[in-house]
């Protein structure tokens, strides 16, 4: 039975282990997190006025890539699946960006994107709408600068009407909820202490430890031996193996990979919480596997009926 063990959880990232499964399932989960977990993003931009130095298409592209924090994502329908004639509160959210630079240069950021229609389908989070451009915070809880969209000189104008829709990263990258989603097999590091202690003196052991760029090993000052301190940090660079071979020690270090244990690092864009991304990806994967199982079952019944 596959299991997940959370190693580290931060506001915008999660590191976890996926155990008791194979590479196909692990990679399917990774790909789903990148391209099939839905989010909300600005998909339609109506430009009423733009006297800035940036082209209309350039600004529209930048605005579309602004992540929208959407914890109530399930309240919305995909636009192509909605039963409305054009656009409604169930499938779209309207925003507006209207700014005029008066006396001096004005920096336009994601904070200037304001929601227009806050209907019953779109609940509020405190005094703020539940769907809004992401506000980032550092590890101490301090608000970070908003995303810069453009800079206006004196008397320049930006007047845009914006429409956000629900979508997936497979259609366009702006709907992908992750900035980074990587996985690797768990590295397995083994040392033959008998050979290393016999063939290497203290200085050579320290050199062996320093050869590793990821601090996998540590020299034990009390026992004067090499300890494995951070095996999961191993990047399989084989520098330790090369060093022992240069010293004439064969099989002093053995580095392999666990084919049934995978380490994931997922960084969110801020549109969804990182643990929510993983949970939604697992649900989607379960649905896909269930659908595949049903299709195979139907095919087997048809084959049996033919014979």
What's the rounded mean pLDDT across residues 229-253? 90
| CATH number for 100 | 2.170.120.12
Quote the pLDDT of residue 301: 79
Where are the strands (E) in the chain, listed by range? 3-9, 13-19, 39-50, 68-69, 92-100, 106-109, 114-115, 124-125, 128-129, 132-133, 148-152, 157-167, 178-191, 217-220, 225-228, 253-268
Does pLDDT of 125 surpass 80?
no
Residues 62 and 158 both lie in one domain: yes
What's the rounded mean pLDDT across residues 192-196? 90
pTM: 0.85
Strand 132-133 vs strand 68-69: parallel, antiparallel, or unpaired?
antiparallel
Task: Give the confidence band of 129 by pLDDT, cuts at 50, 70, 90.
Answer: low
- Residue identified by tokens 């760029």 is 213
Does pLDDT of 179 surpass 70?
yes
What's the rounded mean pLDDT across residues 271-286? 96
CA proximity to 78, closest of 44, 39, 110, 131:
39
| CATH number for 14 | 3.30.1360.10
Residues 94 and 215 both lie in one domain: no
Domain that holds residue 164: 40-175
């Amino acid at each position: 039975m596959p299991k997940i063990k959370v190693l580290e959880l931060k506001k915008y990232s999660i590191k976890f282990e996926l155990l008791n499964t194979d590479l196909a399932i692990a990679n399917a989960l990774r790909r789903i997190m990148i391209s099939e977990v839905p989010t909300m993003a600005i998909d339609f931009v109506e430009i009423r006025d733009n006297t800035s130095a940036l082209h209309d298409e350039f600004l529209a592209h930048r605005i579309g890539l602004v992540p929208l924090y959407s914890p109530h994502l399930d309240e919305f329908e995909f636009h192509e699946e909605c039963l409305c004639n054009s656009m409604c509160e169930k499938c779209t959210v309207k925003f507006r960006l209207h700014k005029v630079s008066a006396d001096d240069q004005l920096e336009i950021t994601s904070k200037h994107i304001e929601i227009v229609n806050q209907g019953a389908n779109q609940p509020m989070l405190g005094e703020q709408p539940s769907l809004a451009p992401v506000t980032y915070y550092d590890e101490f809880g301090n608000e970070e600068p908003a995303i810069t969209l453009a800079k206006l000189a004196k008397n320049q104008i930006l007047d845009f009407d914006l429409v956000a829709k629900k979508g997936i990263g497979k259609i366009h990258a702006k709907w992908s909820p992750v900035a980074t989603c990587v996985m690797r097999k768990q590295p397995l590091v083994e040392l033959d202490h008998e050979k290393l202690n016999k063939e290497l003196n203290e200085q050579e052991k320290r050199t062996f430890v320093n050869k590793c760029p990821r601090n996998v090993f540590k020299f034990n000052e009390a026992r004067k031996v090499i300890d494995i301190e951070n095996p999961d940090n191993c990047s399989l660079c084989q520098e330790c193996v090369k060093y022992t071979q240069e010293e004439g020690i064969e099989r002093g270090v053995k580095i392999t990979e666990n084919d049934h244990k995978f380490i994931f690092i997922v960084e969110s864009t801020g549109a969804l919480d990182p643990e929510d991304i993983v949970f939604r990806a697992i649900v989607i994967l379960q649905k896909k596997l269930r659908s595949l199982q049903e299709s195979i079952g139907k095919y087997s019944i048809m084959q049996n009926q033919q014979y």
